[in-house]
Amino acid sequence: MKNGKKTLLLGVGLGLATAAVVAVQNTLTDIMTNLALERKLSSKLKMGRRRVSGSTKEEEKKLEAVKALSERLEETAKETVTITAEDGISLVGHYFEAEKPKRVIIAMHGWRSAWSRDFGGIADFWHKNGSSVLYAEQRGQNASGGDYMGFGPIERFDCFAWVKYIHERTGGKLPIYLAGISMGASTVLMTADFPFPSTVKGIMADCGYTSPKAIWRHVAKDNLHMPYGFISARIDKAYRRITNAESCYSCEDALREATVPVLFVHGTADKFVPVEMTYQNYMACASPKELLIVPGAEHGLSYWVEQDKYESTVKAFWKKYDGKPAKKAEEA
């Protein structure tokens, strides 16, 4: 009888322990899913942004200095345009047309950010060098539709939709470049194997990661100090359910079949997206490629740390690949 009670108590104990483990897994999965994917962020998680990115107080001060440039970019004359994504989501963009355009840049901003914030610093350089720019608003953020972000595997189709829009709008007469920062960089890199029209001349990717799965593992393990392996399978399942895509899809997958030249940029002091991820993307790239590594630059701040070198590298990239504009429109 005593042995029976011990067995019963042991069984109850194991059951409670299992239930506790499952409860913890579910809680951590909900936290990571809300943080990474959902448009509406829990108020409890909003205060933890610095921990997520691994940013320092000094980096935050630098980003505050960008705020004035962001506001100025928003106030600059522009045309707000809207297209519809393949899945019916409404996508919003802001088009700045150069007086005598030499090319068009399609710019994709990063995770939980905004077009004016991420490109407020570099916008003057682009505009003064004859670039018309379409600043896209990523799905699940700001003015674009959608309740979720996809970290690239679904946004790449949105990016291609913008390519077709710009190609048609310009009559196929101007070179087109895709530019992105952080998640925006990974978004444009994941389009590298798409069947672009000949007007698409290149991709410029600043501090992009390799895949959703890889960046979540890094952030959870190194910045949030969470046991990511403990919940990895659950998060992958949640991602598939929400986005109908695979979190393991990577920039490397696309770059192995890349059809256009790529300029990779990254700072060595980036704690949000480790510079090693750009090295991995660079090594996977099958098309002509260039690499600009900026010593000491934190996440998204390479342009500020080595502005002259950044600008000269981009100008050389344009000069090399602008080529002669197509004489007539082609179907994207």
Task: Break the chain into its structural domains and give their ranges.
Answer: 1-36+212-244, 58-211+249-321
Q: Give the pLDDT score at 35.
A: 82
Q: Give the pLDDT score at 49.
A: 53
Helix (H) or strand (E) holding 3: helix 2-36
Q: Give the pLDDT score at 85.
A: 97
pLDDT in tens, 184-235: 999 999 999 999 999 999 999 999 999 999 999 999 888 888 777 778 888 8
Q: Give the pLDDT score at 63.
A: 66
Q: Token pair of 278, please?
A: 């750009």
Q: Give the pLDDT score at 16.
A: 43
- DSSP letter string, 312-332: HHHHHHHHHH--SPPSS----
Domain 58-211+249-321 top-level CATH class? alpha beta
Task: Name which of 299, 190, 246, 233 is nearest 32 in CA terms.
Answer: 233
Check: CB of residue 233 under 8 Å from CB of residue 26.
no
Task: Name which of 136, 155, 157, 161 is nearest 37 in CA terms.
Answer: 155
Listed as ranges, residues in the chain with pLDDT below 50 are: 9, 12-22, 24, 325-332
